[in-house]
Amino acid sequence: MNDFVVIGGGIAGLSAGARLSAHGTVTVLEAEDALGYHASGRSAALYEPNYGKPAVVALSVASGEYHRSANGGYLTPRGLLLVAGASQEAAFAQDVEELGLVPISVEQARSIVPIVNPDTVSFAAHHEAALDIDTDRMLQDFARLIRANGGAVLTGARASGIHRGDSGWQVATAGGTHTAHNLVNAAGAWADEIAALAGIATIGITPYRRSMARLPAPGGHDVTGWPMLMGVAESWYAKPDAGKLLVSPADEDATHPHGAFADDMVLAEGLARYEEMVTEPVTRVETNWAGLRSFAPDRALVLGPDPLQPDFIWCAGQGGYGFQTAPAASQLLADLVTGKSSELDADIVAELTPGRLRK
Ligand SMILES: Cc1cc2nc3c(=O)[nH]c(=O)nc-3n(C[C@H](O)[C@H](O)[C@H](O)COP(=O)(O)OP(=O)(O)OC[C@H]3O[C@@H](n4cnc5c(N)ncnc54)[C@H](O)[C@@H]3O)c2cc1C
């Protein structure tokens, strides 16, 4: 019997599995044929430590050292450039405050990203704190660590039935049944479905679609060194990716757990918001996709044992921060499971544990 069966082979399940593999035997079950097939394979791969509510920021900040130094480090410079129109001054000021950006002139903004449109952009702010994360390598490194510690990472292994017998959990897959003392629910958008399957009360994890379009480099510019360009109040963003530009409408439409795809109209409207702030028109969309960002009702992660069934462990609600929070979130989960005190403040831990949602 395993000590831990983890359901979900995205960043949540692999990072949690890796941390737990130092304390017992771990089997990760991933339904798809590849790891990171859903949200974790579709992210913008940014580390922006000031993004999200305070408990999320605390996790991101606490993850910084791991991101910077583990396995040679996962971060490379990117930066963030916020742009706003004349009518958006209040929203601009709020973003500057929340993200800790430094206001700069439109001319300075144009020296960083030459396609910033001086006719429509009235305010700009920038910082270097936002960094790119090598998300693929991070997924593979966590999977490797699980295997190195004697665990298993199985793909094509959908948990189709979950039963808790006298001796622990039994998780049925097409390839056989996996048993464990503890079940870790890291199923992303499917987290509530897994809880229901296990007979545990759900907590209201809701998936929200976020779309992405890949454009050729605008105007033939070398975009490699550009920062992420963002509209105020997260109304769109654009990020260089392998010589191309990814543009997201930053959509947030509630949906059900599924293999997400972009909505053409949402994409077109988002591209129009981006286009208004730049000098180069969108001439072609090379490809597009969408992923699901899954949030708890209060938009903080849900980490640790279920208060009513402590051998059912939540690792859910990673929202738009699953990679940037993963090192500290997985450490907190392991600390909670093994009874070790966390390096995070107690009030932050209380905002992340499932008990807060069970009142
Ligand atoms: C467009 C977009 C941009 C983003 N940008 C960023 C960013 O810049 N920085 C950042 O940190 N985060 C970002 N995120 C968020 C980040 O991608 C997610 O928070 C993270 O990937 C969630 O990881 P996860 O492991 O919880 O979910 P997933 O990656 O979805 O993994 C859950 C897995 O569970 C599996 N599963 C479900 N049911 C079962 C079952 N019954 N049996 C077995 N397996 C099952 C699924 O197949 C899936 O692979 C972004 C997300 C999107 C969509």
Asked if the model's pLDDT at residue 359 lies above 80, the reply is no
* Strand arrangement of the beta sheet that strand 46-47 belongs to: 46-47, 131-133, 75-77
**Residue 347: which residues within 8 A CB-CB, separation 6 or more?**
none
Closest residue (by CA) to atom 35 of ligand 1? Answer: 8
SS3 state at 152: strand
Percent of the chain at pLDDT exceeding 70: 100
Confidence of residue 167 (pLDDT cuts 50, 70, 90): confident
**Residue 305: which residues within 8 A CB-CB, separation 6 or more?**
311, 312, 313, 314, 336, 337, 354
- pLDDT value, residue 92: 98
- pLDDT value, residue 284: 94
Give CA torsion, residues 65, 66, 68, 74, to 10 deg. Answer: -160
Q: Is the dihedral of CA 118, 124, 128, 134 positive or negative?
A: negative
Rounded Cα gap, residues 52 and 317, in angstroms: 13
Q: Which residue has the higher pLDDT, 220 or 59?
A: 59
- pLDDT value, residue 73: 98
Rounded Cα gap, residues 102 and 128, in angstroms: 10
Give the rounded distance of the alpha carbon of 274 from its chain centre: 23
Mean pLDDT of all residues belonging to the chain: 97
Which residues' Cβ are closer than 6 Å to ligand 1? 7-13, 29-32, 36-40, 42-46, 158-159, 186-190, 194, 210, 212, 248, 291, 293, 318-324
Give the phi and the psi of residue 285 in degrees, each rounded to 5: -105, 120
Q: What is the pLDDT of residues 236-293, one digit of tens each?
A: 999 999 999 999 999 999 999 999 999 999 999 999 999 999 999 999 999 999 999 9
Asked if the model's pLDDT at residue 157 lies above 90, the reply is yes
Could you tell me the distance, in angstroms and rounded to a whole number, from the CA of residue 321 to the centre of ligand 1?
10
Could you tell me the distance, in angstroms and rounded to a whole number, from the CA of residue 40 to the centre of ligand 1?
4
User: Is residue 143 within 8 Å of 153, Cβ to Cβ?
Assistant: yes
Average pLDDT over residues 150-164: 98
Q: What is the pLDDT of residues 306-333, one digit of tens each?
A: 999 999 999 999 999 999 999 999 999 9
Ligand 1 atom at minimum distance from 40 CA = 21
Ligand 1 atom at minimum distance from 45 CA = 8
Asked if the model's pLDDT at residue 60 lies above 90, the reply is yes
Could you tell me the distance, in angstroms and rounded to a whole number, from the CA of residue 183 to the centre of ligand 1?
18
Closest residue (by CA) to atom 53 of ligand 1? Answer: 291
Q: Tell me the DSSP string of 327-349.
A: HHHHHHHHHHHHTPPPSS-HHHH
Q: What is the pLDDT of residues 83-128, one digit of tens each?
A: 999 999 999 999 999 999 999 999 999 999 999 999 999 999 999 9
Asked if the model's pLDDT at residue 358 lies above 90, the reply is no
Ligand 1 atom at minimum distance from 8 CA = 34
Rounded Cα gap, residues 327 and 325, in angstroms: 6
Could you tell me the distance, in angstroms and rounded to a whole number, from the CA of residue 72 to the centre of ligand 1?
24
Which of 29, 32, 43 should be mutated for ligand 1, with most atoms under 8 A from CB?
43
